[in-house]
A and B are shown apart, each in its own frame.
Chain A
């Protein structure tokens, strides 16, 4: 397969770009993981510590 650089004018070679692209998901996963973890922990705490003890209304 022929290597095609996204911008032939810059000085980043394909190997360096691929290396960076390989590292990007780790940071994104950390960010998304922290955000989702906070959301889920908040939901579980409110559900189990506030909503359920208030009892059934139906």
Chain B
């Protein structure tokens, strides 16, 4: 007895759908696998620094007081930049960093939630009042990079941006206090 054409058609469609579902499941597994592999082998994780700070007294004393902001070379040779993100500017507005050197960027906010990214790099984090956001990166190319606020923070949000000035490693010579400021344009 010949097979019912409808049943035959439906069987073919079902087979095609099952093949498609298998292929998509395989792709999802492959993508999750790539992400998992790079996370484990390279430590490719989102920034996960959890460090509390009082947003009410941020500007008065301690790490994010005005005289501590900007780029500093620690006695151990590490380069640390401390930046306050506030409505509607970054303090300081220009952050100098050496190329080909591991740099630590530390941010905090005294008012509302901000976010930062540095164009052409993976640097990207939220800046939440009450916490210190910290990222590390190596800037490979010299030049000025734009660092806008990427979390809507109020009416002046679109005016909130800073410049990361990447200078050649051999020209990055901090003063005796370990501090380095941007060259004037």
List chain A positions with a Cβ less than 8 A from chain B: 1, 3, 14-15, 17-19, 21-22, 24-26, 28-29, 32-33, 36, 40, 43-44, 47-48, 51-52, 54-58
Docked pose: A26 CA to B20 CA in angstroms: 11
User: Chain B at the A interface: mostly helix, strand, loop or mixed?
Assistant: helix
Interface size class of B (residues with CB under 8 A): 35 or more
A19–B65 CA distance with the chains assembled, in angstroms = 77
CB contacts (< 8 Å) of A40 on chain B: these are: 27, 31
Residues of A contacting B: mostly: helix
Q: Does B176 contact A (CB under 8 A)?
A: no
Contact of B13 among A14, A25, A32, A33 (CB under 8 A): A25
- Among the stretches B36-44, B147-155, B161-169, the one at the interface with A is B36-44
Residues of B within 8 A of A55 (CB): 122, 137-138
B16 touches A3 (CB 8 A): no
Asked whether, in the complex, the Cβ of A58 is within 8 Å of the Cβ of B47, the reply is: yes
